[in-house]
Chain A
Amino acid sequence: GQQLNQSPQSMFIQEGEDVSMNCTSSSIFNTWLWYKQDPGEGPVLLIALYKAGELTSNGRLTAQFGTTRKDSFLNISASIPSDVGIYFCAGQKPGNTPLVFGKGTRLSVIA
């Protein structure tokens, strides 16, 4: 099945640093979402984006819906140890359709 290209695959950063990850697709989506998954748990929604160019924040997290509707990025500012986990992007077509996921970015934060 179709998947999104998510990068980087993994990141090791120092506590306090900013983080950036992105997702690209060959097809257009009208909704982009970012989820975080902790070990042994399901993905938890962080941010949902609905309009091309939209920039949305959730605390230290900021995500943008690319103007071409084929990409999105997520920034985390001033990382803390609890940011550790796997971050997934997901694209969605109209009509509450199933999500198409990236392979995830594994974030490690060194205190």
Chain B
Amino acid sequence: DAGVIQSPRHEVTEMGQEVTLRCKPISGHDYLFWYRQTMMRGLELLIYFNNNVPIDDSGMPEDRFSAKMPNASFSTLKIQPSEPRDSAVYFCASSATGNRNQPQHFGDGTRLSIL
């Protein structure tokens, strides 16, 4: 079975440029999470969706970050304009609804470097 698929795997761009990260969750999963991983702060939530609706975006750093989920099989995280401090690994994870908390499955991440 295909896992969570993220693209691109690596992105290097100059500050000020727009960056778009993409995620395809596991088929049938109705929760999608965007996390960011840095050395200083570890893994932290940015935003999450349930049935394509954003539930909690309190982790989004500022207005330069936006996320969408136009359908059940696709989500984007956009940074515009990008800044060097946005450099990090961005992970997408998905999970399904169940009688209890269902484990979140992670993609392999997008390693973003802003010069």
Contacts and interface: CB of A to CB of B under 8 A. Distances in A.
Interface residues of A, number: 26
B45 A42 contact: no
Contacts of A31: 100-101
A33 B106 contact: no
B71 to A, nearest CB: 19
Given A96-B31, A98-B48, A103 B100 contact: no
A52 B45 CA distance: 25
Interface of A: 1, 3, 30-31, 33, 35, 40-45, 48, 50, 88, 92, 94-99, 101-104
Kindly list the 5 A-B residue pairs having the minimum CB-CB distance in the complex, ordered from nearest: A42-B106, A98-B45, A101-B43, A31-B101, A103-B42
24 contacts: A1-B44, A1-B59, A31-B100, A40-B108, A41-B108, A41-B109, A42-B4, A42-B93, A42-B106, A42-B108, A43-B91, A43-B106, A48-B103, A50-B101, A88-B43, A92-B101, A94-B101, A96-B31, A96-B50, A98-B33, A98-B48, A99-B104, A101-B42, A102-B42
